[in-house]
A and B are shown apart, each in its own frame.
Chain A
């Protein structure tokens, strides 16, 4: 497990989790049109929960990898 580098914006310390959450949100928003092309909503019985799970997956992957 790696350590979390500090992010300081204008002498304000930003917590690592916030960084990952915002980055995961950006990745998710970029992925949305691709999901629509793959007909993501039709694969699952509950698309809202599927999208939430996908967001949590992206967040976890970003936390582990970066």
Chain B
């Protein structure tokens, strides 16, 4: 029995020291942003503080990347605000309709992008809310409001960038490297389970592919961190693609019969453990294989599969080493994004409808300051659009609003209560900023979400200005509007149904089948086989989990069978393309036709023909023959085990 001793990281009151350091950095950045805004006499100093709160991220690279996108999105949003106001300022109802349409368009764009780019899309949406809708009764002020907002955001970005640099915010790439190393361990465990014929289920493979693909959005933040950042980004991308390729290489062993040469499989497991590239020696073929005279023996595809697995493992290890050292691997790949058009369109339409309902309510209520609350509705829609479940985010905002009201009220009327010296303001902000940030840094997603929302809402409700105004009426109205906005949005999101997960599954499976037809016909996109495989993996990762239901499992199995076959066919096509200008081009053409028809008998004949050539390209032909043999086995296994699943709603 072994006893594992773990040293707990240094902590204070249950939170690690790094979380407290993060909290102090954010507090100082808010203070610097406010000081700069007051000194420059900006019109919207609270926007600078809220910018710092929104950009609060534990590492330098993430904050800087989000800052770049925030600036870009503000420019786009301001241009759209001026355009919408210019066109519709005379007809208020048309203006609200145009605004709802713009929000829908931005949420649709957010559905097609990922990570901070999706955030930029939704920010363009709610920038129009803040700039145009809040000035709905005074359209002549739209330009000045836009310039003031842009200036405040720039000051906020500068504040957080300088504070992060000077106070030693950690870099992103060590954390990313350890995340990738942990994924590599999981992929190796999966490969060993497959080699030992322990048959891990489809859900395990899907979860692995999902976790690998989800890291795609995190890599762009490395580029802003340091001058070797763009190289590290390219290395990290190549590493994730190699991880997906390793999963596919491991899955190839699922197709090979479990009884074929178990000693060889054990040796491959040992080679994986030793992390070396030397292939174990293939043992003799089993007795029943000798009867199938004309068919290629199983040791050839087995050897090929093992070699591929070890090669991909070596590529991953090279990528991880390159990420830490800041050097490029031998081969670099891009990570294409899978864009689910129907899902994005549905999300966009739903967002527009969720905005239209509250605006009808506000128009009927006829309150003079309702425009502020409508812009808050747009903000909560925008912030929730990048989360996996917008309704949960709105619920969290609904819970966070009263908490933030109490905290902001304590700050404004109990702690500050009429002072107007800046150092006192800075001191008073400290417990709230540091506390909210430490809660945000907790691993529990509920607490983290509450902390983040409180950080933003406290600054929004308190709204520091110079000279400070301690007006209880304004405070009550703002708090009421925040709560009302979250409540109305929650009602709208409950009334307007989200699509059932089965429909999402159906859309994705239809996309999988369509792309597979393209792979068969050779009309594939201009992507390298590994890059196309990464895109397939990202798509599989998006299939909504159907729990442990047999139907859900069958859908995953079908998706994975398409994934395996498409990858094998793409690799074969790429290799056969090398024979086009040689004396073996007719054999290559035969093999291509067999692949297009998924005709494994002709494929095996082509494979045998290539194995016995005696031309100058003998070595290449043998390699391709082994690849074709393995592909034939994978196609056979896939077409035998799964039939298309009919999903009936």
Contact = CB atoms under 8 A, between A and B. Distances in A.
A binds B: yes
Interface of A: 32-33, 35-36, 40-41, 46-49, 51-52
A40 B227 contact: yes
Which secondary structure dominates where chain A touches chain B?
Answer: helix
B228 A36 contact: yes
A33 B227 contact: yes
B227 A41 contact: yes
Given A36-B231, A46-B168, A52 B226 contact: no
The 8 closest A-B pairs by CB, nearest first: A36-B227, A35-B227, A32-B227, A48-B165, A52-B165, A36-B228, A41-B226, A49-B165
B162 interface: yes
Contacts of A40: 227
7 contacts: A33-B227, A36-B231, A41-B227, A48-B60, A48-B168, A48-B171, A52-B165
Contacts of B169: 48
Contact of A52 (B162, B227, B228, B231): B162
B166 interface: yes
B616 to A, nearest CB: 42
Contacts of B326: 41
Among B60, B164, B166, B228: residue with most chain A CB under 10 A = B228
A40 B226 CA distance: 10
B208 to A, nearest CB: 34
A33 B229 CA distance: 10
A39 B171 CA distance: 17
A47 B326 CA distance: 14
A37 to B, nearest CB: 9
Among B164, B165, B166, B326: residue with most chain A CB under 10 A = B165
Interface of B: 60, 162, 164-166, 168-169, 171, 226-228, 231, 326
A53 to B, nearest CB: 9
Contacts of B166: 49, 52
B165 A51 contact: yes
Given A48-B168, A52-B166, 4 more contacts: A32-B227, A41-B227, A46-B168, A48-B60
Contacts of B164: 48
B502 to A, nearest CB: 47
A47 B169 CA distance: 12
Nearest to A41: B226
Contacts of B162: 52
Contacts of B228: 36, 41
Contacts of B231: 36
A35 B228 CA distance: 9
A47 B627 CA distance: 47
Contacts of B227: 32-33, 35-36, 40-41, 51
B79 to A, nearest CB: 12
Contacts of A47: 226
Contacts of A46: 168
Among B168, B226, B326: residue with most chain A CB under 10 A = B226
A35 B60 CA distance: 19
Contacts of A41: 226-228, 326
A51 B171 CA distance: 14
Nearest to A47: B226
Contacts of A48: 60, 164-165, 168-169, 171, 226
A51 B168 contact: no
A32 B227 CA distance: 5
A49 B164 CA distance: 9
Nearest to B166: A49
A33 B230 CA distance: 9
A44 to B, nearest CB: 11
A49 to B, nearest CB: 6
Contacts of B60: 48
A32 B231 CA distance: 12
A64 B228 CA distance: 30
